Structure 1
Amino acid sequence: MAKSPGKSTITDVARHAGVSLSTVSRVMNGNATVDADLAERVRSAAVALGYTASPLARSLVLGRTQTIAVVVPDLTNPTFQAILRGLSRSAAADGYHVLIADSAEQVDEERVLATETRRRTDGVVLCAPRMSDEDLSALLPALSPAVVVNRPPQDGSPVVAADYRTAFGELIEHLYDLGHRRLAYLAGLARSASNAERLAAIADARAAHPDLQIAELRGGVDFASGAAAAGDVLASGATGVLAFNDLVAMGVLSALAERGIGVPHDISVTGFDDIPFAQYTTPPLTTAAVPSAELGARAWTALHAQLTGGQADAAVSLTPRLIARASTGPAAAAPTAG
Structure 2
Amino acid sequence: MVAKAAGVSTATVSRVMSGNPAVSPDLAARVHAVAEEMAYRPSGAARGLALGSLRNVGVILPDLANAYFFDTVKQMHHAARTDGYRMLVADYSGTADDEYSTAVDLLGQVDGLILLSSRIPVSGLKDLAAQSTPVVLVNRVELGVDLPMVAVDNFTAMMELCGHLAQLGHRRVVYVAGSDLSWQNRERWRAVEMSKVLGIESFRVDSDGTIEGGFNVAESALAQEPTALICFNDLTAVGAISKLRELGVRVPADVSVTGFDDVEIARHIAPPLTTVQSPKAQLGDQAWRLLQEALRNEPGASAPMLDAKVVIRDSTGPVSTGVSTGTD
1:92 — aligned with what? 81
- Deviation track 1:27-74 (CA, whole Å, cap 9, x = no partner) reads 64356xx47xx6644554444434564323312311221111111111
Specify whether residues 322 and 43 from structure 1 end up closer, same or farther in structure 2 by C-alpha distance, changes over 3 A only. Answer: farther
CA displacement, residues 259-309 of structure 1 (integer Å, 9 cap, x when unaligned): 111111111100011111110111000111112233223212211222123
Amino acid at match of 2:123: E
2:314 maps to 1:326: yes
Cα distance 1:14–1:63, how it changes in 2: closer, same or farther (>3 A)?
A: farther
Choose which of 175, 183, 196 in structure 1 pairs with 2:186: 196
AA paired with 1:8?
V
- The answer as to whether partners of 2:254 and 2:324 remain within 8 angstroms in 1 is no
- Match of residue 248 from structure 1: 236
Q: Of 48, 70, 77, which aligns to 1:81?
A: 70
> Could you list the runs of 5+ residues in structure 2 that have no partner in the other structure?
none
TM-score by length of structure 1 reads 0.86
Does the Cα contact within 8 Å between 2:273 and 2:314 map onto a contact in 1? Answer: yes
Q: Do residues 181 (structure 1) and 171 (structure 2) align?
A: yes
C-alpha deviations, 1:60-108, integer Å up to 9, x for none? 3112211111111111111111222111221111111111221121111
Q: Which runs of 5+ in 1 are unaligned?
A: 1-6
Specify the alignment match of 1:229 in structure 2.
217
What is the one-letter code of the residue matched to 1:215?
F
Contact 2:2-2:13 within 8 A present in 1 as well = no
Percent of pairs with identical residues: 35
Q: TM-score, normalised by structure 2?
A: 0.89
**One-letter amino acid matched to 1:132:** P
Aligned to 1:49: 34
User: What are the equivalent positions in structure 2 for 1:1-338 lying under 5 Å apart?
Assistant: 8-9=2-3, 15=8, 25=14, 28-30=17-19, 34=21, 40-41=25-26, 43-50=28-35, 53-142=42-131, 144-153=133-142, 155-206=145-196, 208-209=197-198, 211-335=199-323
Structure 2 counterpart SS, 1:179? coil
Alpha-carbon separation, structure 2, partners of 1:69 and 1:79: 18
Separation in structure 2 between the aligned mates of residue 202 and residue 261 of structure 1, nearest angstrom: 23
CA distance in 1, matches of 2:80, 2:57: 9
For residues 116-166 of structure 1, give each alpha carbon's deviation from its aligned partner in whole angstroms, at most 9, with x where no partner exists.
Answer: 111122121111111222332233322631101111146331112111111
Q: Is the 8 A contact 1:182 1:240 kept in 2?
A: yes
SS of corresponding position for 2:88: strand
* Preserved contact between residue 14 and residue 42 of structure 1 (Cα < 8 Å): no
Asked if the contact 1:24/1:42 (under 8 Å) is kept, the reply is no
Equivalent position amino acid for 1:169 in 2: M
